[in-house]
Amino acid sequence: MAPEAARWFLPQTAYIHNLISVLLFLLLTSQTLHCYSDAYSEQEADRVAFLPGQPRSPKVSQFSGYITVNRQSGRALFYWFFEAQALPSQKPLLLWLNGGPGCSSIGYGAASELGPLRVSMYGTGLEFNKFAWNKEANLLFLESPVGVGFSYTNTSTDLSKLNDGLVAEDAYNFLVNWFERFPQYKNHEFYISGESYAGHYVPQLADLVYERNKDGNANRYIKLKGFIVGNPLTDDQYDSKGLAEYAWSHAVVSDETYERIKKVCNFKVSNWTDDCDEAMSTVFSQYHEIDIYNIYAPKCNLAQSSTAAVVDNALESSDQEQFRKRIRMFSGYDACYSSYAEKYFNQPDVQKAFHANVNEMHPGKWKVCSDSILRSYNFSVLSVLPIYSKLIEAGLRIWLYSGDADGRVPVIGSRYCVEALGLPIKRDWQPWYLNRQVAGRFVEYHGLTMVTIRGAGHLVPLNKPAEGLTLIDTFLLDEQLLTH
Ligand SMILES: *[C@@H]1O[C@H](CO)[C@@H](O)[C@H](O)[C@H]1NC(C)=O
Ligand SMILES: *[C@@H]1O[C@H](CO)[C@@H](O)[C@H](O)[C@H]1NC(C)=O
Ligand SMILES: *[C@@H]1O[C@H](CO)[C@@H](O)[C@H](O)[C@H]1NC(C)=O
């Protein structure tokens, strides 16, 4: 018998065995395919064909919609997702979070800073951003926590209970459920990024993913590789000390004010004394006249109705408790950027194309920052440095960057935070370059890289878009910044 023919004459048992395998295989694949096709139709339902006022070219592959994060309370978070500009199947997935607490990653991150479609002046339409961060990554923006932007809860009491723990838990559930809808991204490398108060959210979410990954549940496994944060609130003590020193060293306040702060303020305790409050209020009143988030930039003089104004009002309020809270407000966002986004995202045709506010579930106006969340947020975590130590040990790639013209979360405070980690230096502090100019400086430790962006304020991707893009691409590709 020719060997070829023999293959057709398998012993009976092997034949049956094979038949069973084939049937099993068909059954399993049909189930998997069924599963995938469910996800596929759900994700296609989230595809955004075209947004009002969007430029006709280049083409942008985008999705947006709601992901339920807690069935019991009826909590759902809203996202906006952009596939990478080229070869999305080969690029990592990058999540971006804004802070506040209470500010929208769609209003700021996506539509004003680093997204491919930014709201144009006066909110009349969208413009393509050639420095968008979806060059080397699939880019996901999340409005978090509930009560921010289009994200909502059906249990209104949730809104008075927001704290870092709940934010991280909901964001984690968001990720797990988002991957269900976009299973093709499940085995991509995953990174988390954000700025300002997301200096808390980002490492806390990374920590939760890291911990939950240990459960051994393959369905929920997330391929987290690292995180990167910009002008991040990290440690109350160092950030406050940095704020005071920055104001003095950048000629914002007098020697006397600074001496007084040094004398009466003990930033090691979170509860400032009345004397310290008073001394620090001198600093804030000076920053009232310029843009604390970008100290050399012209101040926005638009009539303000959003967070900046609320913060200012709180400053003037005589209520001490309110004042102490105000000190902790990190919103970091200027009404000049936000008013255009508010105009755009409140248009009914935009919301419809965006799959937002379906069935009017989100009551009232879409706002770039929620004042009430900022006021009611429970600031219970004073430092995320212990999480850094843990995740550095775990081998995650961790970068911290800082626009060096920010007075709110200044580079000095971030340097104290990084120093406090006590990491050995790998490459000394030195300049990095872009277009033959010093773009900033960086220092590489074993376990963490710190980068500054020269002349950028609190919102680095907005102030220095080319530098911002170079920075994120270098981080994602695990390369080195140019040193000549
Ligand atoms: C919230 O309530 C509305 C109205 O009952 C419902 O349609 C929606 O699905 C609920 N949201 C969640 C996340 O359960
Ligand atoms: C914070 O300080 C105020 C006034 O100095 C005091 O009344 C309050 O009990 C302190 N709170 C804590 C938690 O230490
Ligand atoms: C704030 O959060 C902490 C820690 O989660 C909790 O112990 C405390 O009761 C909360 N405070 C309020 C006012 O909700």
Of 15-19, 302-306, 394-398, the least confident: 302-306
| Dist. CA 242–CA 412, nearest whole Å | 5
Candidates 445, 415, 423, 436; CA nearest to 483 is: 436
Nearest residue (by CA) to ligand 2, atom 1, is: 271
pLDDT at residue 17, rounded to an integer? 54
> What's the domain count of the chain?
1
The helix/strand/coil state of 422 is: coil
Terminal Cα-to-Cα distance of the chain (whole angstroms): 73
Which residues form the pocket of ligand 3, taking CB atoms under 6 Å from any ligand atom?
Answer: 163, 165, 378, 380
Q: Is residue 181 one of the residues assigned to a domain? A: no
pLDDT at residue 22, rounded to an integer? 52
Nearest residue (by CA) to ligand 2, atom 8, is: 271
Is 193 known to be catalytic? Answer: no
Identify the bridge partners of residue 95 per DSSP, sorted by sequence position: 140, 192
Active-site residue, selected from the candidate residues 196, 338, 383, 414: 196
Q: How many CB atoms lie within 10 A of CB 163?
A: 15
Q: Is residue 162 one of the residues assigned to a domain? A: no
Does the beta carbon of 156 lie inside 6 Å of ligand 1?
no
Q: Is residue 246 one of the residues assigned to a domain? A: yes
Residues 162-180 have pLDDT tens digits of 999 999 999 999 999 999 9
| Dist. CA 86–CA 324, nearest whole Å | 48
User: Per-residue pLDDT averaged across 342-360, rounded?
Assistant: 88
| Dist. CA 171–CA 71, nearest whole Å | 14
Q: Is residue 245 one of the residues assigned to a domain? A: yes
Pick the more confident residue, 112 or 9.
112
Residues 433-479 have pLDDT tens digits of 999 999 999 999 999 999 999 999 999 999 999 999 999 999 999 99
Test site for ligand 2: of 265, 269, 271, 324, most ligand atoms within 8 A of the Cβ: 271
* Residue 221 amino acid letter: Y
Whether 295 and 252 have beta carbons less than 8 Å apart is answered as yes
Q: Which domain holds residue 304?
A: 236-332
The helix/strand/coil state of 232 is: coil
Q: Is residue 312 one of the residues assigned to a domain? A: yes
**What's the 27 CA to ligand 2 centre distance in angstroms?**
65
Is 371 known to be catalytic? Answer: no
pLDDT at residue 323, rounded to an integer? 39
The pair of structure tokens assigned to 347 is 């248009």
The helix/strand/coil state of 446 is: coil
Residues 197-220 have pLDDT tens digits of 999 999 999 999 999 999 989 889
Is 478 known to be catalytic? Answer: no
| Dist. CA 247–CA 256, nearest whole Å | 12
- 321 pLDDT above the threshold of 50: no
pLDDT at residue 305, rounded to an integer? 39
Whether 333 and 369 have beta carbons less than 8 Å apart is answered as yes
pLDDT class of 52 with cuts at 50, 70, 90: very high
Q: Is residue 253 one of the residues assigned to a domain? A: yes
pLDDT at residue 21, rounded to an integer? 55
Round the average pLDDT of the chain to a whole number and report it.
86
Q: How many CB atoms lie within 10 A of CB 165?
A: 14
Does the beta carbon of 74 lie inside 6 Å of ligand 1?
yes
Q: Is residue 85 one of the residues assigned to a domain? A: no
Q: The domain that contains 318 carries what CATH number?
A: 3.40.50.1820
Candidates 320, 212, 222; CA nearest to 273 is: 320
The helix/strand/coil state of 373 is: helix
CA–chain centroid gap for 186, Å, is 20
pLDDT class of 9 with cuts at 50, 70, 90: very low
| Dist. CA 218–CA 242, nearest whole Å | 43
| H or E element, residue 76 | strand 75-82
Q: Is residue 368 one of the residues assigned to a domain? A: no
DSSP 255: H
